Amino acid sequence: MIRKLASGHYRLYSRKVDPKTGRRRNLGTFDSRAQAEHHEREVQYFKRHG
């Protein structure tokens, strides 16, 4: 899940809520939405092929 921050950056959050904190886990902050989407695909790949 990608959200735009007030600073103009984009942050990638996990799809599931972290049971320990009750919030979504931060998976990285990026300068552009395209970078965030690219990293999201990388994350999904390694979740299945790691």
- For residue 50, what pLDDT is reported? 73
Rounded distance, CA 10 to CA 1, Å?
10
Q: What is the mean pLDDT of residues 11-40?
A: 97
Q: What is the mean pLDDT of residues 16-40?
A: 97
CA angle 24–28–34, rounded 5-degree value: 110
Does residue 22 surpass a pLDDT of 80? yes
Rounded distance, CA 23 to CA 29, Å?
16
Beta bridge partners of 4: 10
Average pLDDT over the chain, rounded to whole?
96
Give the global pTM: 0.86
- For residue 36, what pLDDT is reported? 98
Does residue 48 surpass a pLDDT of 80? yes
